[in-house]
């Protein structure tokens, strides 16, 4: 039970400044706090005058440098059902960013958090002029945070409200840029899931930026965040469609299942085009239940019924983009961009470089010819990309740019077999390769595996008949303490059960955790990705989780995503190895859980 | 905000006072050595909790009231990362509930708890499959220890009833530690933020020393 004073002394003042509480309400809470000894924040929560998100906002502004490490909160940009967006200063780089925070308590479960981290990692890899850049994400003291490029402008929703709809060329020029950004994301395996006018930011293009006169530069916001809304408490869904994302723009299939593809974004972009032309969302007047029924039956009114002057080719493209059956929509962004360009409207396409930068050539049909100006522009972007790549290599971040490293989406779930690989006493099934390994007790008198050098362990568990067999797809969990070691590593994805085999590595040092690659137990380490600093002290118990899915590997350390990697080998050795440098490290809670496809209990064959 | 409003608030806020800061992360040494209470608990709710021992017999916390301090350690569950919505038919083999870092630390320190007149109850939240097979598996995973000496109690929270009452539901449960004095009052409550965020054994012993000292 918290007592008076749990809140900093300016809690009520900040709540008042934010106009969350009236003067009278503040006075009443302060007086009641004095009388009861309960903190104002707790009284406000109990009495329902502030909700948990509002309280979080107030507390964050009361301690602007403590809420998120490395950032100073300087103001509130906006509040939504899923979280708050702050204007913040990134202290290390002395730059202003948009910092979105979401209370962990709003997520349904741990799976939601893991999924967010995996998708946020992917979103952070996106680099495109039409996508708001993601800088950083993480979890701290009960909040998820997501630092993004701070964009000065207005969103397309506000823009269309001012003008009751845009003219066709401008609307399609905006839609085209969104499509270009989505095409880039799709190429990297990312879909947005919540395309809508309020996530389409319109900014003044930089001087010399190749856009037709009067056309704003589009920035797509909230990549990687839509999952949060989907994974939040579904009980918040109301008939007033207040909480669950954007039902007016969502594809019909998105209501029924989560395994949607890029064509759901194309549907939402069609609905966004509808909005841009008309000035409001399709079926805006309908309550949620009727809205769903209409969308599932494809009963979305034609834009020409609302605005007869809109061209038939525009209406036809929107109808196709919003087809109930995804197979009837434009199959990919290449086709969509071509169809937009063929609308015959002047001033849609960029004058030069943006198109080449926007449209991933791999998505386009072979043999398509491009104007020379676009090829020249493409070379400019290639040069810019090369410079960026060189910079990333310099800081060890190449893994996040290298397309072939992408593992695709995690596609399996925990099911099947599970068991501990270390019982605290015996190490019969552990095979020391170098150094010394033995059971020991850590400073907390817990049983641990202590060692220096390298030890290997098969990833196998008894089947239903009690016969120990390899686990092909699995979640491997370990507690790791550096103890006296300068570095502790988990080796996985080995080409062969050999001390010289190529393998991937999770490396923990006092600086943090990092993905890498080694050619052999003691081969040279290639660092693949930046060091992720620990939230906990380096001396703490750190939790390393390595998951092998069909498309590759996913790694978390202390429940923070370290990233995903495509597998080096189609059939890696069914083992992992531990390595400790500079002194003994401690390992414990070593367990394996089998991963299987969500739909069927039958194990995957090898 | 108008000046009058500001002055009124300032005057009222001066009466509210300040509170101790949260435990900073920098002090979280493996496990948390100076853990401080970070959760609210209703004494009546925690006092009414009941569990099942490996033999299927009920273990009520109320039975310790007036007799012993109780250290109630709720683990995140056996391999506790299985979200209920994604569970298939799990086949638990080579499962060792004594082998977790936390449980082994408590087990190895049991004499120190005895010296402090405390019973240690380690709770494993489990979801029961329709045929009860998993429950039987978990019971098998808690064999009698090869000792005639008293030791800590490993119990099951079937269907997460206690976890729900304590408000610590996660995939199965957040790791949580509670210390009740002999009067059944909760004197310490710590709910971890991550699966490795737990009070150290020494931190728990320190809390017991404080409780026993206060009772003298």
- With cut-offs at 50, 70 and 90, classify the pLDDT of residue A464: confident
Segment A328-346 mean pLDDT: 90
Number of Cβ pairs < 8 A linking chain A and chain B:
207
Say if pTM beats, i.e. exceeds, 0.90.
Answer: no
Q: What is the pLDDT of residue A249?
A: 92
Q: Which helix (H) or strand (E) holds A68?
A: none
Q: How far is CA A55 from CA A46, A82, A340, in A?
A: 12, 14, 46
Distance separating alpha carbons of residues A443 and B145, to the nearest angstrom? 23
Q: What is the pLDDT of residue B137?
A: 62
Check A543 against B26: CB less than 8 A apart.
no
| Pick from A366-370, A439-443, B26-30, B195-199: least confident | A366-370
Check A34 against B16: CB less than 8 A apart.
yes
Distance separating alpha carbons of residues B25 and A139, to the nearest angstrom? 13
Say which residues have a Cβ less than 8 Å from residue A389's Cβ, sequence separation at least 6.
A398, A401
Tell whether B170 is within 8 A of chain A (Cβ): yes
Helices then strands (H, E): number in chain B? 7, 8
Task: Name chain A contacts of B29, Cβ cutoff 8 Å.
Answer: 537, 539-540
Distance separating alpha carbons of residues A282 and B111, to the nearest angstrom? 70
C-alpha A252 chain-centroid distance: 23
Q: Testing the interface with B: which of A107, A108, A411, A446 to mutate, by most B Cβ within 10 A?
A: A446
- With cut-offs at 50, 70 and 90, classify the pLDDT of residue A349: low
Choose between A567 and A252: higher pLDDT. Answer: A252
Q: What is the pLDDT of residue A415?
A: 74
Confidence check: pLDDT of A51 > 80:
no
Compute how many other C-beta atoms are within 10 angstroms of the C-beta atom of residue A378. Answer: 18
Nearest CA-CA partner of A84 in A33, A146, A25, A17: A146
Task: Name chain B contacts of A536, Cβ cutoff 8 Å.
Answer: 25, 28, 194, 196-197
Segment A166-193 mean pLDDT: 91
Residue A149, classed as helix, strand or coil, is strand
- With cut-offs at 50, 70 and 90, classify the pLDDT of residue A362: very low
Q: What is the pLDDT of residue A195?
A: 93
- Window 110-169 of B: residues touching A by CB (8 A cutoff) are none
| Residue A45: DSSP 8-state | H
Tell whether B3 is within 8 A of chain A (Cβ): no
Tell whether B5 is within 8 A of chain A (Cβ): yes
Task: Name chain A contacts of B109, Cβ cutoff 8 Å.
Answer: 445
Segment A544-555 mean pLDDT: 85
Q: What is the pLDDT of residue A487?
A: 95
Render pLDDT for A374-397 as a digit per residue (tens, 0 to 9).
Answer: 223 333 333 333 333 333 333 333
Distance separating alpha carbons of residues B187 and B192, to the nearest angstrom? 17
Tell whether B12 is within 8 A of chain A (Cβ): yes
Rounded to 5 degrees, what angle do the CA atoms A497, A426, B115 make? Answer: 145
Task: Name chain B contacts of A442, Cβ cutoff 8 Å.
Answer: 30, 101, 105
**ipTM here:** 0.73
Check B29 against A481: CB less than 8 A apart.
no
What amino acid positions of A are annotated as catalytic residues? Answer: 194
Q: What is the pLDDT of residue A376?
A: 30
Tell whether B26 is within 8 A of chain A (Cβ): yes
Check B99 against A33: CB less than 8 A apart.
no
Strand B176-180 versus strand B69-74 pairing type = antiparallel
Q: Is-contact A58 A15, C-beta < 8 A?
A: yes
Nearest CA-CA partner of B27 in B40, B39, B38: B38
Q: What is the pLDDT of residue B124?
A: 84
Q: What is the pLDDT of residue B129?
A: 52
Q: Testing the interface with B: which of A14, A413, A444, A475 to mutate, by most B Cβ within 10 A?
A: A444
What would the two tokens of residue A548 be?
């092998």
Distance, in angstroms, between A223 CA and closest chain B CA? 25
Choose between B94 and B10: higher pLDDT. Answer: B94
Q: Three-state SS string across A467-508, please?
A: CEEECCCEEEEEEEECCCCCEEEEEECCCCCCCCCEEEEEEE
Q: Which helix (H) or strand (E) holds B125?
A: strand B118-126
| Pick from A112-126, A403-417, B69-83, B178-192: least confident | A403-417
The average confidence (pLDDT) of chain A is: 77
- With cut-offs at 50, 70 and 90, classify the pLDDT of residue A35: confident
Q: What is the pLDDT of residue B72?
A: 96
Confidence check: pLDDT of B60 > 60:
yes
Read off φ and ψ for residue A513, nearest 5 degrees.
Answer: -120, 160
Task: Name chain A contacts of B91, Cβ cutoff 8 Å.
Answer: 416-418, 463-464
Q: What is the pLDDT of residue A252?
A: 86
Q: What is the pLDDT of residue A237?
A: 30
Confidence check: pLDDT of A175 > 50:
yes
Residue A141, classed as helix, strand or coil, is coil
Residue A405, classed as helix, strand or coil, is helix
Render pLDDT for A190-200 as a digit per residue (tens, 0 to 9).
Answer: 888 889 998 99
Q: What is the pLDDT of residue A112?
A: 60
Render pLDDT for A193-241 as a digit per residue (tens, 0 to 9).
Answer: 889 998 999 998 877 777 888 889 999 988 766 555 444 433 223 223 3
Q: Where are the alpha helices (DSSP H) in chain B?
A: 3-16, 43-47, 101-108, 110-115, 133-140, 161-166, 201-215
Confidence check: pLDDT of A365 > 70:
no
Render pLDDT for A504-547 as a digit per residue (tens, 0 to 9).
Answer: 999 999 888 888 899 999 998 887 766 777 777 788 889 898 98
Q: Which range has highest mean pLDDT (A476-490, A511-525, B133-147)?
A: A476-490
Residue B138, classed as helix, strand or coil, is helix
Segment A330-337 mean pLDDT: 94
Q: Is-contact A27 B8, C-beta < 8 A?
A: yes
Q: Is-contact A312 A304, C-beta < 8 A?
A: yes
Q: What is the pLDDT of residue A531?
A: 74
Confidence check: pLDDT of A403 > 50:
no
Say which residues have a Cβ less than 8 Å from residue A12's Cβ, sequence separation at least 6.
A21, A26, A29, A30, A40, B9, B12, B13, B16
Task: Name chain B contacts of A421, Cβ cutoff 8 Å.
Answer: 94
Segment A408-414 mean pLDDT: 64
Tell whether B82 is within 8 A of chain A (Cβ): yes
Residues in chain A: 606
Choose between A176 and B7: higher pLDDT. Answer: A176
Confidence check: pLDDT of B106 > 80:
yes
Segment A151-155 mean pLDDT: 85
C-alpha A50 chain-centroid distance: 29
- With cut-offs at 50, 70 and 90, classify the pLDDT of residue A372: very low
Q: Is-contact A518 A502, C-beta < 8 A?
A: yes
Q: What is the pLDDT of residue A356?
A: 30
Confidence check: pLDDT of B55 > 80:
no
Confidence check: pLDDT of A242 > 70:
no
Residue A30 is nearest to which of B16, B83, B108, comparing CB atoms?
A: B16
Residue that is written with structure tokens 């209409």 in the block: A294
Choose between B139 and B127: higher pLDDT. Answer: B127
Q: What is the pLDDT of residue B28?
A: 31
Confidence check: pLDDT of A5 > 60:
no
> Which residue in chain A is spatially nearest to B40 when comparing CA positions?
A1
Distance, in angstroms, between B80 CA and closest chain A CA? 10
Q: What percent of chain B has pLDDT over 90?
A: 25
Q: Is-contact B89 A457, C-beta < 8 A?
A: no
């Amino acid at each position: 039970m918290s007592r008076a004073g749990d809140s900093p002394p300016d809690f009520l003042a900040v709540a008042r400044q934010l106009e969350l509480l009236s003067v009278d309400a503040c006075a009443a809470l302060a007086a009641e706090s004095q009388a009861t000894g309960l903190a104002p924040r707790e009284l406000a929560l109990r009495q329902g005058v502030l909700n948990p998100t509002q309280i979080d906002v107030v507390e964050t502004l009361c301690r602007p440098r403590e809420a998120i490490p490395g950032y100073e909160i300087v103001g509130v940009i906006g509040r939504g059902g899923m979280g708050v967006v702050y204007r913040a200063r990134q202290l290390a780089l002395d730059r202003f960013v948009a910092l979105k925070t979401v209370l962990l308590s709003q997520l349904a479960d741990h799976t939601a958090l893991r999924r967010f981290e995996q998708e946020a990692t992917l979103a952070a890899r996106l680099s495109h002029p039409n996508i708001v850049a993601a800088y950083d994400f993480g979890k701290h003291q009960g909040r998820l945070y997501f630092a993004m490029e701070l964009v000065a402008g207005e969103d397309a929703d506000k823009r269309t409200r001012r003008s009751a709809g845009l003219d066709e060329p401008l609307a399609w020029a905006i839609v085209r840029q969104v499509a270009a950004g989505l095409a880039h994301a799709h190429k990297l395996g990312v879909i947005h899931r919540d395309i809508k006018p309020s996530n389409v930011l319109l900014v003044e293009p930089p001087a010399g930026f190749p856009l037709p006169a009067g056309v704003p530069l589009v920035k797509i916001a909230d990549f990687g965040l839509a999952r949060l809304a989907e994974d939040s408490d579904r009980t918040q869904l109301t008939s007033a469609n207040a909480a669950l994302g954007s039902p007016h723009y969502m594809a019909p299939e998105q209501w029924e299942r989560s395994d949607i593809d890029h064509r759901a974004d194309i549907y939402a972009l069609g609905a966004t085009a509808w909005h841009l032309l008309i000035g409001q969302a399709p079926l805006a007047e309908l309550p949620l239940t009727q809205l769903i029924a209409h969308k599932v039956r494809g009963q979305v009114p034609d834009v020409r019924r609302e605005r007869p002057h809109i061209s038939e080719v525009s209406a036809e493209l929107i109808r196709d983009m919003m087809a109930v059956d995804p197979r009837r929509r434009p199959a990919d962004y290449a086709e969509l961009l071509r169809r937009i360009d063929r609308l015959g409207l002047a001033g849609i396409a960029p004058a030069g470089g943006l198109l080449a930068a926007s449209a991933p050539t791999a998505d386009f049909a072979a043999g398509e010819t491009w104007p020379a100006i676009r090829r020249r522009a493409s070379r400019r972007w290639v040069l810019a990309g090369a410079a960026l790549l060189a910079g990333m290599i310099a800081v060890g971040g190449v893994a996040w740019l290298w397309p072939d490293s992408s593992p695709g989406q995690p596609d399996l779930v925990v099911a099947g077999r599970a068991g501990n690989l270390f019982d605290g006493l015996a190490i019969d099934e552990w095979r020391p390769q170098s150094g010394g390994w033995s059971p020991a007790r850590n400073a907390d008198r817990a049983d641990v595996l202590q060692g220096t050098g390298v030890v290997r362990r098969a990833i196998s568990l008894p089947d239903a008949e009690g016969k120990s067999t390899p686990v092909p797809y699995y979640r491997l969990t370990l507690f790791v303490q550096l103890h006296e070691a300068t570095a502790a590593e988990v080796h996985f994805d080995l080409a062969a059960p050999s001390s010289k085999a190529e393998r991937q590595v999770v490396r923990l040092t006092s600086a943090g955790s990092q993905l890498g690659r080694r050619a052999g137990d003691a081969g040279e380490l290639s660092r693949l990705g930046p060091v992720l600093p620990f939230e906990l002290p380096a001396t703490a118990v750190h939790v390393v989780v390595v998951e092998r899915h069909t498309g590759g590997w996913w790694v978390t350390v202390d429940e923070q995503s370290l990233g995903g990697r495509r597998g080096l080998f189609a059939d890696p050795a069914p083992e992992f190895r531990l390595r400790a440098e500079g002194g003994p490290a401690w390992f414990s809670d070593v367990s394996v859980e089998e991963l299987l496809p969500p739909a069927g209990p039958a194990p995957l064959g090898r | 905000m108008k000046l009058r409003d500001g002055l009124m608030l300032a005057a009222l806020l001066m009466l509210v006072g300040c509170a101790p800061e949260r435990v900073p992360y920098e002090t979280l040494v493996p496990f948390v050595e100076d853990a401080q209470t970070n959760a609210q608990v209703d004494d009546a709710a925690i006092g009414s909790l009941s569990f099942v021992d490996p033999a299927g017999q009920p273990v009520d916390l109320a039975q310790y009231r007036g007799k012993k301090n109780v250290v109630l350690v709720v683990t995140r569950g056996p391999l506790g990362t299985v979200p209920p919505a994604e569970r298939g038919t799990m086949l638990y083999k080579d499962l060792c509930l004594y082998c977790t870092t936390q449980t082994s630390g408590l087990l190895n320190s049991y004499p120190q708890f005895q010296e402090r007149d405390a019973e240690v109850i380690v709770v494993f939240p489990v979801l029961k499959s329709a045929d009860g097979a998993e429950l039987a598996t978990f019971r098998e995973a808690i064999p009698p220890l090869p000792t005639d000496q008293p030791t800590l109690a490993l119990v099951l929270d079937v269907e997460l009833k206690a976890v729900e009452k304590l408000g610590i539901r996660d995939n199965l449960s957040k790791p949580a530690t509670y210390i009740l004095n002999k009067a059944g009052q909760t004197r310490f409550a710590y709910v971890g933020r991550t699966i490795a965020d737990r009070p150290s054994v020494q931190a728990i012993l320190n809390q017991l020393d404080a409780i026993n000292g206060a009772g003298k």
